[in-house]
């Protein structure tokens, strides 16, 4: 390992932070604004990718600003960034997926005509910057700095909708994550006190192994608890499902990848580079952590079964899957470590795909509840195929990313003698199938007419029996004389009402009866509009054209939950949604497959091997 | 050339007299005098600080007598920090006050007097002289608080005067006890006599400690002796709230540390562990109670005032630890808090001037209406919460590390969780600013963007409260939410610059720590 | 203690108490003026003539005039009762304060003792020995005031000035306007 | 007991004056009387200093008088403190006049309440 002094880690962190300024400045011009986002995303990705060859060759890129805070005695804490294998793994992942998510965000935010899009993109850039900062932090203090900044930057995204529900979720989010931050701070202070330093050292800080075990245990517990909040370890997970009120790209990149994995990443740093697997084992802290992780894996899977809201189900799935990684770290076995670390990118690709699909369904059909998705495969074939592939991966079926990581995990847990843990993994795999399969199954193999035969779903169907479904939100905007069921007593049943994120909901019953062809034509028009046209600054994306309610009088099928009265129409893959959304979905899904088929060709596995070799001395 | 030392006190006082007399020639000229005086004071204190960096502490006896018979002035790393802070803050607030007022000449006379009093408190090495400057500071502060229109500020000022005088009198009584026990008033001499002749456990010394500490607690506004403070901060003109919230309690806390460690010394705390424990307990209670009370406030300035109670709890906590790292942290936090809290008051003033909003509820949707002001306010609030790498975080780090080093786990818990307590009241504000829609108060017209009302009726702005004296109340109707035009560039500039400094200055703290390290080491030896 | 001293102290305490319990503000002010005069005499008895003089002029004189001016400008609430109603919480605080203070009584050196730290301290003897040839004044109090602790005296002047400025600010007046 | 007390009774008078002053500041509702209480409080402390300076049988600290002299330093301090006290009183009374002009009352209980409605 050689340290190479370089400004590249700094640049990687700063690019997206700096991009906030032009994004805010071009608030009136959406196309320009999104160009900045794309530029920043590509630059961040390019910078982190550029460091891969060097890191694979054994170098570490370091940007050092000198002393930031005092340590104990003569020790001190530097403000330094480093791109080592573990850090680069996370940075590369976050920046790569940000590129995809940025594209998707454009389609999603414009498709829903969301408010405050500038704030959204600015906060998104800030979040990515902070996440990359977490990845490239050189020591625990710098990691903490970015960890807290990440909280601050993501808060506006959680609260984006500005509804009571969103604000409540935002408050909960802040309380939980800052609470975790306090624990991390306390743990960091103790580590600095015990060792005089906070620098990450492969295999652990030596002085920690010789310090007072009680104090070391306290520090470990505080750190893991603090990071465990964002890693959604039970019982500190409950902010995550609530945070699903955020726009779906946020849920996808941040609450399945960047934010939650900053927590997992923190635990990885603590286990591998602060304490080191050996010391953790000596302190006897691995087993309790593994137990918590295994518990979370199983319980979260069971809870996921009972969620009808698709995003909430995905959230609990995330809670469960994150603990796979933690379990891998806690078992302290080289192969389990490798499996856990490899699951970071694997889960990221798969979960991102799933969230993107949920978002696409939401934008196109305003459907959020699984019970309303029967037969939706006709309407959105490409989306649901991608969903199916990612689900398979989640369950650990071979040829998709999830398999490789789970394989390592399973072997590792058997090697560690933790048959119980292996059992938990297997049970969870089965549960994964149980909560994903019905979605895929009903999407393709059931029609929206089939009543109640779906397994494991308890909520009543909405939309099917309702004579005239109506969002009920914008009743005032209904054309005068529209003889629709505004006062429909059943309307409280609709997902729209339970999910205020659908705040632009409009439906005209009289229009809904129009021929599918007409609707189809409108849909095409919609698709065309979604392509940004830089030459056309008076195009539909200028703010004054955002009067969604007025524009979309003719596109009725977008605005109520569940299938339209005539059932889902059948659409071709190319017209089911805009390419802004389908493209990212397919890219992410492809990524998941590539990781599953040729893991050794992708940088992630090799980075993981370097990390494991550094931490344990074992070459996989 | 050490004659510069007394000039640091004399300069603002002379400027104050000039400001007052200038009113004879031309009214409203006080601001310009204050500007010249403050700039000169900044230059002078900066020069003194430079000399301290270069040559170490400066000691000067007024009138060329010898210690302990004459009055000694001492500028070391810590007092240099204070006098520079006082001068710079006074200058910064002036930039705000130019448009915001108050504008009378006597006001600026009192303003400069406060600067002189605080500078005197910072550099004196004589216990009774400290009392005299404490009273000068007090008088100037009471008067400034009372300078707002309307009876409310007069009531607050009188209350402050009564409570503050009791505090100062108790401080004087504490001096009396120390003097009766030792027969001297010079701080260094007192420390020597107490240590060699009287002993740390003597009743008189303990009583002296108790009265001095309680008296200064009143001035610092440590819970439950804070009762004067919220109303004083809330009812004073915005410029004054900022100035006194940034400086008065800060320099009083400095005086507290100075007296505890220079006069009574670490050995006293070691000989009387109960004293240190009581300090720590008072600090912890202050942190928690101040935060809880801050959450309960509806008026923004009162909330900020209670926040100060909590933040000074942290400083006192650091002072109780008798640990170098924590002590440096106390000073980092004193400076950081002064900058952040003062600017928060100014930001609240900008908001009130621009929109009339003074309560938390009225801050709804402020991010849309006043993006720059609201953004700066949010940044300052987050810095106050202690989000890294801001100044607020760095101060907290030093204090917390000090707590770890001394093994004060209970105090450590309070210090780190103060982050959450602070978050509790600031998150509420931030949520309203950015994540709620602005709703025009009932009965108002001409404020909704698309409300095609008669232009010109926007004089009826969302303002139920008294504005500063000069608020002319005329705003143009640009078809947007009501925005008053009288927020000057200077008012914005101060707030924005402070927000930027709050974020970036954390990087300079390590350098600063190197600078004060020798002083702190001597203080704690 | 001599009878005169005792009577004097009793007078001071009695007038002090009277200011507290008299309901009529004017009565209270008059009692306070009497109290100030009494305490001025106490200063003289305790061999502090300078302080006594100042107290008589400032405490009994200026302060009383200020109080009288104030009630002339405001209001003199006259009630049917002669004495104030007793405020128990306030009494509790006052008694607690006195009790706490009284615990230090035994530790204080006896009044008038020649061996107290104050009397024997280096600072005191230095002033008494050197005041004349260093400051050229025979009244040591004046010497200390003007020379050794001239900085305090400067502060004192500033305090008076501050009060002047303060009253102007409080009444929101420009200078002499 | 009496032997220990008798030479220190002036300190007890100090404490009693402090007590009376405290009582007035808290217990009396009239603002003017609160300020009088503040003055009593301060003179109590003055007595503490002057009593501490006193030496039995000594003359004032004027060198033309015969030795021994009382300690001059506390006298100096108290001269300063008296002036501080009167300055504070002046400002306090100024505030009281303004409060009366605005609220028409000097009753503290009423004023502390008015504040909340402001």
pLDDT at B65 over 90: no
Structure tokens at C60: 């009994």
D17–B contact, CB cutoff 8 A: no
Measured CA to CA, the distance from residue A413 to residue A331 in angstroms comes to 7
Predicted pLDDT of residue D18: 95
Disruptive mutation site among B435, B437, B506 for chain A (greatest number of A CBs within 10 Å): B435
Measured CA to CA, the distance from residue B391 to residue B508 in angstroms comes to 9
Tell me which chain B residues have a C-beta less than 8 angstroms from the C-beta of A76. 510
Q: What is the domain count for chain C?
A: 2
pLDDT in tens, D15-54: 999 999 999 999 988 899 999 999 999 999 999 999 998 8
Measured CA to CA, the distance from residue B316 to residue B334 in angstroms comes to 10
C-alpha closest to that of B311 among B234, B399, B243: B399
**Interface subset of C 157-176, CB within 8 angstroms of D:** 159-160, 162-163, 166-167, 170-171
Distances, alpha carbon A592 to alpha carbons A87, A318, A595, in Å: 21, 16, 5
pLDDT in tens, B229-266: 999 999 999 999 999 999 999 999 999 999 999 999 99
User: A15 or A377: whose pLDDT is higher?
Assistant: A15
pLDDT at B452 over 70: no
Model ipTM value: 0.86
| CA count, 13 A, side-chain hemisphere, C31 | 22
Predicted pLDDT of residue B130: 96
Predicted pLDDT of residue A525: 42
Task: Report helix, strand or coil for A1.
Answer: coil
Distance from CA of A167 to the nearest CA of B (A): 7
Dihedral over Cα of A435, A438, A439, A441: its sign? positive
Q: Is the peptide bond before D68 cis (omega within 30 degrees of 0)?
A: yes
pLDDT at B85 over 90: yes
Predicted pLDDT of residue A503: 41
- The pLDDT of A376-395, averaged and rounded, is 84
Q: Rounded to the nearest 5 degrees, what angle is found at the Cα of A125, between the Cα atoms of A135 and B481? A: 145
Would C165 be classed as within a structural domain?
A: yes
C67 shares its domain with C9: yes
Burial A80-119 (b: 16+ CB within 10 A, else e): bbbbbbbbbbbbbbbbbbbbbbbbbbbbbbbbbbbbbbbb
pLDDT in tens, B355-373: 888 898 888 888 888 888 8
Chains within contact range of chain A (3+ C-beta pairs < 8 Å): B
pLDDT at B301 over 90: yes
- The pLDDT of C97-110, averaged and rounded, is 91
Identify the band that residue A456 occupies on the pLDDT scale cut at 50, 70 and 90. Answer: very low
Look at B128 and D96 and tell me if their CB atoms are within 8 Å: no
Most confidently predicted of A614-618, B186-190, C119-123, C145-149:
B186-190
Cβ-contact B94, B115 below 8 angstroms: no
Distance from CA of B106 to the nearest CA of C (A): 6
* CATH number where C60 lies: 1.20.120.1200
For chain D, list the domains and their CATH numbers: 2-117 (1.10.287.3510)
pLDDT at A534 over 70: no
Distance from CA of C14 to the nearest CA of B (A): 22
- The pLDDT of D45-74, averaged and rounded, is 87
Would C170 be classed as within a structural domain?
A: yes
Look at D18 and C159 and tell me if their CB atoms are within 8 Å: no
Identify the band that residue C73 occupies on the pLDDT scale cut at 50, 70 and 90. Answer: confident
Chains within contact range of chain C (3+ C-beta pairs < 8 Å): B, D
Predicted pLDDT of residue B1: 53
pLDDT at A471 over 70: no
Rg (CA), chain A: 24
Do B and C touch, counting CB pairs below 8 Å (3 needed)?
yes
Predicted pLDDT of residue A543: 40
Cβ-contact C166, B143 below 8 angstroms: yes
Average pLDDT, chain A: 78
The domains of chain A are located at 475-561
B5–D contact, CB cutoff 8 A: no
A11–B contact, CB cutoff 8 A: no
Measured CA to CA, the distance from residue A473 to residue A120 in angstroms comes to 24
Would C108 be classed as within a structural domain?
A: no
Most confidently predicted of A508-517, B312-321, D54-63:
B312-321
**Interface subset of C 105-164, CB within 8 angstroms of D:** 105-106, 108-114, 116, 118-119, 121, 123-124, 127-128, 131-132, 138-141, 143-145, 149, 152-153, 155-156, 159-160, 162-163
C58 shares its domain with C2: yes
Predicted pLDDT of residue B127: 94
Most confidently predicted of A602-616, B156-170, B441-455:
B156-170
Look at A65 and B417 and tell me if their CB atoms are within 8 Å: no
Beta-carbon neighbour count of residue C27 at 10 Å?
16
Measured CA to CA, the distance from residue A258 to residue B387 in angstroms comes to 19
**Interface subset of D 52-111, CB within 8 angstroms of C:** 52-64, 67-80, 82-91, 93-98, 100, 105-107
Q: Which domain holds residue C68?
A: 1-79
**Interface subset of B 419-438, CB within 8 angstroms of D:** none
Predicted pLDDT of residue A561: 65
Look at B69 and C147 and tell me if their CB atoms are within 8 Å: no
Residues 6+ apart with CB under 8 A from A362: A112, A248, A368, A501, A502
pLDDT at D74 over 50: yes
Q: What angle separates helix A164-195 from helix B409-435, to the nearest 10 degrees?
A: 150
pLDDT at A511 over 70: no
Would C25 be classed as within a structural domain?
A: yes
D34–B contact, CB cutoff 8 A: yes
C67 shares its domain with C139: no
- The pLDDT of C84-104, averaged and rounded, is 91
pLDDT at A149 over 80: yes
Predicted pLDDT of residue B250: 95
C63–D contact, CB cutoff 8 A: yes
Lowest mean pLDDT among A15-29, A570-584, B227-241, B423-437: A570-584
Lowest mean pLDDT among A557-566, B141-150, B326-335, C132-141: A557-566
C68 shares its domain with C121: no
Identify the band that residue A560 occupies on the pLDDT scale cut at 50, 70 and 90. Answer: low
Most confidently predicted of A297-311, A492-506, B113-127, B481-495:
B113-127
Predicted pLDDT of residue A446: 76
Identify the band that residue D88 occupies on the pLDDT scale cut at 50, 70 and 90. Answer: very high
C60 shares its domain with C125: no
Look at B129 and C152 and tell me if their CB atoms are within 8 Å: yes
Identify the band that residue A361 occupies on the pLDDT scale cut at 50, 70 and 90. Answer: confident
For chain A, the first-to-last Cα distance in angstroms comes to 18
Predicted pLDDT of residue C117: 85
B372–A contact, CB cutoff 8 A: no
């Amino acid at each position: 390992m050689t340290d190479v002094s370089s400004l590249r880690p700094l640049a990687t962190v700063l690019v997206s932070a700096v991009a906030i300024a032009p994004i805010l400045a071009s608030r009136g011009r959406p196309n320009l604004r999104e160009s900045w986002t794309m530029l920043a995303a590509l630059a961040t990705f390019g910078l982190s990718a550029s460091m891969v060859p060097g890191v694979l060759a054994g170098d570490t890129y370091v940007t050092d600003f000198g002393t930031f805070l005092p340590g104990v005695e003569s020790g001190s804490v530097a403000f330094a960034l480093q791109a080592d294998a573990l850090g680069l793994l996370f940075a590369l992942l976050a920046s790569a997926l940000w590129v995809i998510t940025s594209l998707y965000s454009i389609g999603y935010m414009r498709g829903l005509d969301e408010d405050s899009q500038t704030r959204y993109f600015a906060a998104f850039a800030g979040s990515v910057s902070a996440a990359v900062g977490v990845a490239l932090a050189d020591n625990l203090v710098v990691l903490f700095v970015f960890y807290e900044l990440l909280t601050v930057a993501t808060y506006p995204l959680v609260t984006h909708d500005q509804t009571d529900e969103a604000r409540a979720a935002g408050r909960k989010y802040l309380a939980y994550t800052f609470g975790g931050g306090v624990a991390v701070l306390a743990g960091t202070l103790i580590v600095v006190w015990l060792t005089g330093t906070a620098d990450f050292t492969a295999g652990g800080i030596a002085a920690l192994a010789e310090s007072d075990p009680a104090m070391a245990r306290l520090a470990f517990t505080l750190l893991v608890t603090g990071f465990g909040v964002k890693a959604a370890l039970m019982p500190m997970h409950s902010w995550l499902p609530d945070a699903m009120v955020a726009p779906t790209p946020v849920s996808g990149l941040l609450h399945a990848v960047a934010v939650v994995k900053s927590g997992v990443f923190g635990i990885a740093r603590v286990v591998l580079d602060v304490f080191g697997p050996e010391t953790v084992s000596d302190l006897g802290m691995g087993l309790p952590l593994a137990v918590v992780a295994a518990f979370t894996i199983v319980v979260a899977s069971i809870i996921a079964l009972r969620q009808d809201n698709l995003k909430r189900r995905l959230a609990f799935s995330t809670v469960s899957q994150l603990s796979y990684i933690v379990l891998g770290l806690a078992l302290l076995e080289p192969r389990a470590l490798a499996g856990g670390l490899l699951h970071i990118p694997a889960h990221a690709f798969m979960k991102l795909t799933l969230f993107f699909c949920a978002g696409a369904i939401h934008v196109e059909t305003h459907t959020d509840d699984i019970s309303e998705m029967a037969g939706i495969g006709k309407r959105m074939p490409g989306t649901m195929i991608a969903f199916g592939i990612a689900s398979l991966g989640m369950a650990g079926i071979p040829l998709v990313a999830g398999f490789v990581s789970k394989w390592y995990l399973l072997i590792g847990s058997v090697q560690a003698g933790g048959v119980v843990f292996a059992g938990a993994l297997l049970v969870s795999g089965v549960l994964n199938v149980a909560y994903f399969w019905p979605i895929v199954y009903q999407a393709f193999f059931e029609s929206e007419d089939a009543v109640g035969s779906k397994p494991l779903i308890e909520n009543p169907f909405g939309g099917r029996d309702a004579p005239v479904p109506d969002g009920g939100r914008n009743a005032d905007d209904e054309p005068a004389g529209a003889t629709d069921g505004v006062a429909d007593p059943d309307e409280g049943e609709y997902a729209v009402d339970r999910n205020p994120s659908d705040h632009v909901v409009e439906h005209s019953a009289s229009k809904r009866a129009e021929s599918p062809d007409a609707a189809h034509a409108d849909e095409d028009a919609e698709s065309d509009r979604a392509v940004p046209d830089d030459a056309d600054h008076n195009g539909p994306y200028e703010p004054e054209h955002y009067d969604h309610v007025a524009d979309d009088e003719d596109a009725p099928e977008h605005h109520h939950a569940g299938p339209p009265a005539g059932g889902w129409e059948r659409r071709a893959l190319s017209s089911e949604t805009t390419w802004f959304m389908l493209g990212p979905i397919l890219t992410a899904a492809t990524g998941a497959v590539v990781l599953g088929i040729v893991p050794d060709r992708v940088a992630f596995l090799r980075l993981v091997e370097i990390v494991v070799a550094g931490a344990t001395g074992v070459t996989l | 050339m050490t004659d510069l030392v007394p000039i640091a006190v004399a300069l603002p006082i002379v400027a104050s007299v000039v400001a007052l007399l200038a009113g004879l020639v031309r009214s409203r000229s006080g601001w310009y005098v204050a500007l010249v005086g403050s700039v000169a004071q900044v230059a002078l204190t900066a020069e003194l600080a430079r000399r301290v960096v270069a040559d170490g502490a400066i000691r000067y006896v007024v009138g060329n007598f010898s210690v302990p018979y004459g009055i000694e002035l001492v500028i070391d790393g810590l007092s240099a920090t204070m006098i520079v802070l006082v001068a710079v803050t006074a200058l910064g607030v002036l930039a705000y006050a130019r448009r915001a007022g108050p504008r009378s000449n006597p006001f600026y006379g009192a303003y400069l007097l406060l600067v002189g009093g605080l500078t005197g408190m910072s550099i004196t090495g004589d216990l009774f002289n400290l009392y005299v400057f404490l009273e000068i500071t007090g008088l100037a502060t009471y008067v400034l608080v009372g300078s707002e229109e309307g009876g409310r500020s007069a009531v607050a000022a009188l209350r402050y005067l009564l409570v503050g005088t009791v505090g100062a009198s108790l401080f004087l009584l504490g001096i009396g006890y120390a003097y009766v026990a030792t027969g001297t008033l010079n701080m260094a001499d007192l420390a020597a006599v107490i240590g060699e002749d009287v002993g740390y456990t003597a009743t008189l010394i303990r009583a002296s400690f108790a009265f001095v500490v309680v008296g200064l607690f009143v001035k610092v506004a440590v819970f439950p002796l804070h009762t004067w403070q919220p109303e004083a901060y809330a009812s004073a003109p915005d410029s004054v709230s900022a100035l006194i919230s940034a400086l008065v309690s800060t320099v009083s806390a400095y005086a507290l540390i100075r007296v505890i460690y220079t006069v009574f010394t670490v050995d006293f705390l070691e000989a009387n562990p109960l004293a240190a424990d009581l300090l720590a307990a008072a600090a912890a209670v202050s942190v928690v109670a101040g935060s809880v009370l801050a959450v309960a406030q509806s008026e923004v300035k009162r909330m900020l005032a209670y926040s100060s109670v909590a933040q000074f709890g942290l400083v006192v906590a650091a002072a109780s630890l008798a640990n170098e790292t924590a002590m440096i942290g106390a000073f980092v936090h004193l400076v950081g808090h002064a900058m952040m809290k003062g600017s928060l008051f100014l930001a609240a003033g900008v908001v009130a001037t621009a929109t009339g909003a003074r309560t938390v509820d009225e801050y709804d949707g402020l991010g849309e209406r006043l993006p720059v002001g609201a953004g700066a306010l949010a940044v300052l609030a987050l810095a106050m919460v202690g989000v890294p790498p801001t100044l607020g975080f760095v101060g907290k780090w030093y204090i917390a590390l000090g707590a770890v080093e001394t093994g004060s786990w209970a105090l450590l818990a309070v210090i780190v969780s103060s982050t959450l307590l602070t978050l509790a009241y600031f998150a509420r504000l931030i949520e309203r600013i950015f994540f709620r829609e602005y709703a025009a108060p009932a009965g108002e017209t001409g404020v909704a963007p698309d409300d095609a009302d008669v232009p010109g009726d926007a004089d009826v702005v969302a303002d139920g409260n008294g504005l500063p004296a000069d608020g002319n109340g005329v705003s143009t109707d640009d078809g947007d939410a009501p925005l008053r035009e009288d927020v000057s560039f200077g008012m914005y500039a101060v707030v924005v610059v402070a927000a930027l400094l709050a974020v970036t200055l954390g990087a300079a703290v390590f350098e600063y720590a190197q600078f004060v390290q020798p002083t702190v080491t001597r203080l704690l030896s | 203690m001599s009878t005169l001293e005792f009577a004097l102290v009793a007078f001071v305490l009695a007038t002090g108490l009277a200011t507290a319990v008299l309901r009529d503000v004017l009565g209270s002010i008059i009692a306070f003026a009497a109290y100030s005069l009494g305490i001025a005499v106490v200063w003289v008895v305790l061999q502090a003539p300078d302080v006594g003089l100042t107290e008589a002029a400032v405490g009994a004189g200026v302060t009383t005039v200020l109080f009288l001016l104030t009630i002339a400008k405001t209001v003199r609430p006259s009630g049917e009762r002669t004495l104030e109603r007793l405020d128990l919480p306030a009494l509790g605080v006052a008694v607690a304060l006195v009790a706490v203070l009284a615990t230090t009584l035994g530790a204080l050196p006896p009044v008038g003792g020649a061996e107290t730290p104050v009397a024997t301290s280096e600072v005191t003897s230095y002033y008494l020995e050197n005041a004349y040839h260093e400051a050229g004044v025979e009244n040591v109090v004046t010497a200390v005031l003007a020379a050794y602790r001239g900085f305090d005296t400067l502060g004192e002047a500033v305090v008076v000035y501050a009060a002047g400025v303060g009253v102007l600010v409080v009444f929101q007046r420009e200078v002499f306007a | 007991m009496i032997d220990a007390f008798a030479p220190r009774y002036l300190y007890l008078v100090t404490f009693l004056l402090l007590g009376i002053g405290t009582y007035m500041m808290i217990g009396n509702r009239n603002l003017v009387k609160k300020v009088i209480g503040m003055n009593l409080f301060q003179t109590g402390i003055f007595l503490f200093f002057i009593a501490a300076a006193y030496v039995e049988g000594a003359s004032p600290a004027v060198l033309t008088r015969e030795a021994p002299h009382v300690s001059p330093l506390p006298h100096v301090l108290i001269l300063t403190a008296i002036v501080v006290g009167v300055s504070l009183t002046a400002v306090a009374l100024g505030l009281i006049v303004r409060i009366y002009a605005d609220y028409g009352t000097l009753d503290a209980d009423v004023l502390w309440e008015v504040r909340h409605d402001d």
